[in-house]
Structures are given as structure tokens and as C-alpha cells.
Amino acid sequence: MTLFYSGRDKHERGVGFIVKDNLLSQITNFKPINDCLTLNLNIKNEFYDSLDMLYDSLPADKPKIVIGDFNAKIGKETIYKSTIGSESLHEEFNDNGYKLIS
């Protein structure tokens, strides 16, 4: 297993994820923004603007994985079924859910 980590000092701040070594060849790029960006959601608009800019800067023909705890509730509203499918733990979106899905 290999740990990918965004914080300054391991296990202090930031976020990380573990990948099985036999899947490492599938990871072509890991680019953490910074440890504060993932922790300080009090500046939500700034966070989502940075996330949008980063996502838009990536090649459109390559798969992307966005990992994080966005404190988002994704609801079962019909209008978003084509994006989220028919399964959700929540009946309605919260503000973070709307930001994440858009």
C-alpha cells in the first residue's frame, strides 16, 4: 500500500488516501492543493472556486477522482438523477450538496 497525503506533516492536518500497490500504475498524477484548502470549509466559495479552476485545468479526456468530505448532503431530487443516480442517503440537498454537484 502507498499513502498519498496533502498535509505538511503526516497525520497532522491535510487529507490522504491509500492505494494498493498493484493499482499504482493507474495513478498518473497526484496534486494536493494545500492542507488548509481541504480543512477550512468556512471559506466555501473560495474552496469551490479553487476546485473548479483545478478541475477545469485538467485534460478533458482523462478520468478524474475528487476525494473529500465536503459535508455535503446529496438529495433525491429528480432533476439531478442523471448526475447522481437514484440512490442517496438524504431526501434533500444542503448548500454543500448543491455546490458539490454543480
Whether 39 contacts 14, CB under 8 Å: yes
Predicted TM-score (pTM) of this structure: 0.48
**Ramachandran quadrant class, 94 (left: phi over 0; alpha: psi -120 to 50; beta: rest):** beta
Give SS3 for 70: coil
Would you say residue 11 has pLDDT above 70?
A: no
pLDDT at site 34? 60
Whether 37 contacts 58, CB under 8 Å: no
- Compute the mean pLDDT over every residue in the chain, rounded to the nearest whole number: 76
Would you say residue 2 has pLDDT above 80?
A: yes
The string of pLDDT tens digits covering residues 31-68 is 776 655 444 446 677 778 888 888 888 888 888 777 77
Would you say residue 13 has pLDDT above 80?
A: no
